[in-house]
Amino acid sequence: MPRRRDLLKTVGITATGLLAGCPGTQSGGPSTETSGSDATGTRTQTETEGTQTESEVSVGPMTAVAAEWNAYRARLFDAVALGRAGAPSAGASVAQSVFARFEGASGEYGAHEQLESVSESAYEGFEEALGELQSSLSEGEVGAAADAASEASGKLQTAQQSAAGQRATRAFDLLLLGSRASNAVVAARLGSFEGAATVAEETTVAFEDGPVYSAVEEADGEAYEAFESGLAGIGEAASSEDAAGVTEQARAALDAAVQGAYAIAPTDSVAGAGHLSAMQARGWDAAALASGGGVGADYAHATTLNTYRARVHDAAWLARAGETDTAATMVEDVFAHFEGAAAHDALEEADGEAYEAFEGGLSDLSTAVENGNSEGIASAAETVDTNLVAGIEALAGGNAPALQSGFFKARFADARELYRQGQAGRAATLVSDLFARFEENQLDFHETLEETSEDLYHRFEEEHLASLQTAYENGDDDAVGTHHDGVLAALLEFESAHSAAVASGSGATYMVGLAFDAAATNALGNADRAASTAQGALAFFESGAAGYHEALEEADEDLYHRFEDEALGGVISAANDGGDVYAAAKTFYGAAVESVRAIVGSSGGGTGPGAASIVSDVFATFENATVHDMLENADAEAYESFEAALNDYVAGLESGSTDGATAFANAARTGAFAVVGAVDSAPSDSGGHGDHGGEETETSLSGGPDVVEGVPEDANHIVDMEAVAYAPEELTVSVGDKVAWKHVGGEPHSVTAVEADLPEGATYWASGGFESESAAREGWENGEGAVQSGQSYVHTFETAGEHPYVCIPHEAAGMVGTVVVEE
């Protein structure tokens, strides 16, 4: 039976083959297998069998493919740089993104298919090392990640030498080093000058130990000296914690690398293609900076959703207290704010079901409040909260626990107010609800708190949370005070372990909760308590609020004064002077939401000027570069598309989006094909499979009896199979539910249960209908169990418990999932 790799070559996702050995054409030909270290390090052995001589390598589409591989090499070190800067999880995400782009880079001259064709061992080694890079960063092992990046880069360099020749590869090596030097800028802008210095040191070692060192020294002594000087300057600026100096010296190093590449490369068009790929790499640097900042626009949107949770619970509280008019107004105002907020579109895009259910819940809550329906109020408030939690999880990701901390603090404040009003039972019930949310690990709060500090975890849960509930039940004023302060202090300590940008979201949620608590107590006739509550919000902010205070002052001083003096001060004044406290709370709310956006925007995240300035610098560089005229003369359409993509990317970054990264990368790739005279061979912008001029081929891959065309109408749930991810990664279903895994991107996938971890008594399941995991893995190697474009794998779950599963070909890229089956 044919093996999987051979079968894949008959599917519309792989290379149609190179014209091996044909004079005047570029050919993958026989591979050049090379052992060695980092892509720019010492190469120890080269097998000469089948290796093309320099004169046999012409400039053409394979030159552009080799240049595209250089962008991949640069991104490997982007991931490591994020790890060096203290953001290994962001680095792991970059590694997964590289895997996804590579898996989608098919077509006749796609990076994926040509790597497999030029050197199968390099292809396999690259994917293996890339998987190790991701897993190492996920585990926080940055040293191991650096080794994996060097290994993966070396595999691509092997292929470059075979595809484009030694001189072109040396030019690409030097440009890669320039791109690696630029990673110091990312580290510095994330506040890690130690990371920036390490990046410069590692780049220097790679330069001095690699063959490109002597190549550039011989070809252009001035470029050689300028490059070394730039690397040294980065280290000096980093030691002085001079971010502007790091940026200046990194730019000088990259400029020198470009100059040297033109001196080394066999033709200017080769160097030009490499320079465009270096620009692509800088575009990815901006995206890396956005991810490394930890938060971006989505986190600000998630914070807005979190504040709705606090506001809705306050409205329910007022409704139960008989203040139906004020409660109804509060619900209507949440609805009105959501309809005009950026969080509206963000939630709809991130989780359409949660979006619709949230709006429906708000409508039901409004009706229940107007009708005085207590059960309806409780049910609708729960629906609203549940779907806001889903939206927060989708938007905030790993930072969601910090937002849950802010929500908990707001609700603890509600419990304290209820107790002061003589409603000790309701206060105890509220704390009991928070305890249940904590035990359920809602928004991953329980596990994250425990991982942050086991001592902190025990103080929060065992010393204070459980005792606070008991204190309310017993009406023990002293114990209430002690344990209320204890839970707040523990949560503030937890928030302080995060960046100021993340802490601002939790702080804003808490302060918004207090502001509307003041409005609620004022509506209930207690103006003094209203003033005291608002004063408590001010005291929290003045105490630092886990960095929130200082971060806002640094981000936008005018907004800082408006937030503290005018908006929050306005709530206090209204309560003291008999004014409209609710209107003042709404004004403060607007300032609080704006404050989080401002802090996130200045933190180095996706909305900050740091990422946009990187791409703006690329634009300025391009306008004065040799490759500018080269591209314009080679293909006007490719030139215009490149500039348009640059412009759109800058605009997107300035408005808080990194969506333009891929479009710019595709434009740079097309530009590289254009300058080597092969624009018609450039892969399509979709980056998908089947880019073969519309020619379709039959597949010899088989799915099995449970792989069907389309998605069955009776499927209860659908999981999308993207390039290297299942979406959602975790799905909760009921016994008897049918799940369909739908292929939506990338190569063929498998859905393969992890046999050892299935619930006791569960029948083994996998695409292909195999009876064991070992049979499924063997079957995959023989072309069985594949779910291809337009197909779905379908399985009905009959056994409760957790069912973990993997995609065999993309397991190394982290393509894993879990189905949780409930009775």
> Exposed/middle/buried for 454, CB within 10 Å: 0-12, 13-18, 19+?
exposed
Retrieve residue 734's tokens: 């009921």
The full set of domain ranges for the chain reads 61-164, 173-265, 266-293+608-683, 297-602, 707-822
C-alpha span between 355 and 339 (Å, rounded): 11
Task: Please give the backbone phi and psi of residue 720, each rounded to the nearest 5 degrees, phi first.
Answer: -80, 135
C-alpha span between 18 and 469 (Å, rounded): 72
C-alpha span between 784 and 701 (Å, rounded): 6
**Are the C-beta atoms of residues 479 and 470 closer than 8 Å to each other?**
yes
Instruction: Compute and round to an integer the Cα radius of gyration of the chain.
Output: 29
Beta strand pairing call for 816-822 and 730-734: parallel
Task: Please give the backbone phi and psi of residue 766, each rounded to the nearest 5 degrees, phi first.
Answer: -170, 150
The pLDDT value given to residue 248: 95
> How many Cα atoms sit within 13 Å of 155 on the Cβ side?
24
Considering Cα of 160, then 161, then 167, then 171, what sign does the dihedral take? Answer: positive
In the sheet where 726-727 sits, what is the strand order? 707-709, 791-796, 738-743, 717-721, 726-727
Task: Please give the backbone phi and psi of residue 748, each rounded to the nearest 5 degrees, phi first.
Answer: -55, 145
**Are the C-beta atoms of residues 414 and 513 closer than 8 Å to each other?**
yes
In the sheet where 801-806 sits, what is the strand order? 730-734, 816-822, 801-806, 752-753
> Which residue is listed with tokens 């599963």?
805
**Are the C-beta atoms of residues 503 and 545 closer than 8 Å to each other?**
yes
Please determine whether the domains at 173-265 and 707-822 fall in the same fold group of CATH: no
**Are the C-beta atoms of residues 294 and 286 closer than 8 Å to each other?**
no
- The reply to whether omega before 705 is within 30° of 0 (cis) is no
Amino acid (one-letter) located at 436: A
Task: Name beta bridge partners: 791.
Answer: 709
The pLDDT value given to residue 305: 96
**Are the C-beta atoms of residues 593 and 508 closer than 8 Å to each other?**
yes
> Which residue is listed with tokens 């619709």?
356
Q: Which of 652, 629, 631, 616 is nearest to 67 (CA)?
A: 631
**With respect to CATH, is domain 61-164 assigned 3.30.160?**
no
List, in order, residues 6 or more apart from 626 with CB less than 8 Å away. 262, 268, 271, 272, 275
Report the CATH architecture of 707-822. Answer: Sandwich (2.60)
Beta carbons within 10 angstroms of residue 40's beta carbon: 28
Task: Name beta bridge partners: 740.
Answer: 718, 794
Q: Which of 375, 407, 366, 412 is nearest to 389 (CA)?
A: 407
Q: What is the DSSP string of 768-796?
A: T--SSHHHHHHHHHTTBS-B-TTEEEEEE
Q: Which of 180, 160, 153 is nearest to 265 (CA)?
A: 160
Query: What is the torsion angle, in degrees rounded to the nearest 10, for the CA atoms of residue 84, residue 86, residue 91 and residue 92?
Result: 120
Stretch (H or E) spanning 315: helix 297-320
Query: Tell me: the pLDDT tens digits for 349-376?
Result: 889 999 999 999 999 999 999 999 999 9
Instruction: Annotate 662-686 with three-state secondary structure.
Output: HHHHHHHHHHHHHHCCCHHHCCCCC
> How many Cα atoms sit within 13 Å of 62 on the Cβ side?
28
The pTM of this model reads 0.60
The pLDDT value given to residue 35: 40
- Helix crossing, 221-239 with 193-209: angle to 10°? 150
C-alpha span between 323 and 405 (Å, rounded): 28
Considering Cα of 262, then 264, then 269, then 272, what sign does the dihedral take? Answer: negative
List, in order, residues 6 or more apart from 375 with CB less than 8 Å away. none
Task: Please give the backbone phi and psi of residue 410, each rounded to the nearest 5 degrees, phi first.
Answer: -65, -40
> What is the phi-psi region of residue 166: left when phi exceeds 0, alpha when psi lies from -120 to 50, beta otherwise?
alpha
**Are the C-beta atoms of residues 133 and 76 closer than 8 Å to each other?**
yes
Q: Which of 239, 175, 180, 241 is nearest to 205 (CA)?
A: 180
Question: In angstroms, what CA-CA distances link 221 with 128, 225, 261, 264?
Answer: 38, 6, 12, 11
Interior CA angle at 102 toward 610 and 782, to 5°?
Answer: 155
* Distance between first and last Cα of the chain: 42
The pLDDT value given to residue 652: 84
**Are the C-beta atoms of residues 15 and 110 closer than 8 Å to each other?**
yes
Question: In angstroms, what CA-CA distances link 666 with 104, 279, 673, 678, 684?
Answer: 12, 12, 11, 15, 8
Retrieve residue 212's tokens: 């490109």
| DSSP state at residue 764 | P
Considering Cα of 481, then 487, then 490, then 491, what sign does the dihedral take? Answer: negative
**Mean per-residue pLDDT pooled into runs of 10, the chain (823 residues):** 35 29 33 43 36 65 97 96 85 88 85 93 94 90 95 96 95 97 90 90 95 94 97 95 92 97 96 97 87 70 94 90 90 92 89 93 94 93 95 88 96 94 93 95 93 92 95 96 96 90 93 93 91 94 92 90 94 95 94 90 55 89 94 96 93 78 95 96 59 40 88 92 87 94 87 95 94 93 90 94 93 86 93
Q: Which of 751, 741, 755, 760 is nearest to 800 (CA)?
A: 760
What is the domain class of 173-265 according to CATH?
mainly alpha
3-class DSSP state for residue 733? strand
Amino acid (one-letter) located at 428: A
Considering Cα of 54, then 57, then 63, then 66, what sign does the dihedral take? Answer: negative
Query: Tell me: the pLDDT tens digits for 742-778?
Result: 998 777 899 999 999 999 999 999 999 999 999 999 9
C-alpha span between 79 and 81 (Å, rounded): 5
Task: Please give the backbone phi and psi of residue 821, each rounded to the nearest 5 degrees, phi first.
Answer: -105, 120
C-alpha span between 346 and 508 (Å, rounded): 19
C-alpha span between 679 and 676 (Å, rounded): 8
Question: In angstroms, what CA-CA distances link 523 with 330, 335, 581?
Answer: 12, 21, 8
Beta strand pairing call for 34-36 and 816-822: unpaired
Task: Name beta bridge partners: 688.
Answer: none
List, in order, residues 6 or more apart from 769 with CB less than 8 Å away. 704, 705, 706
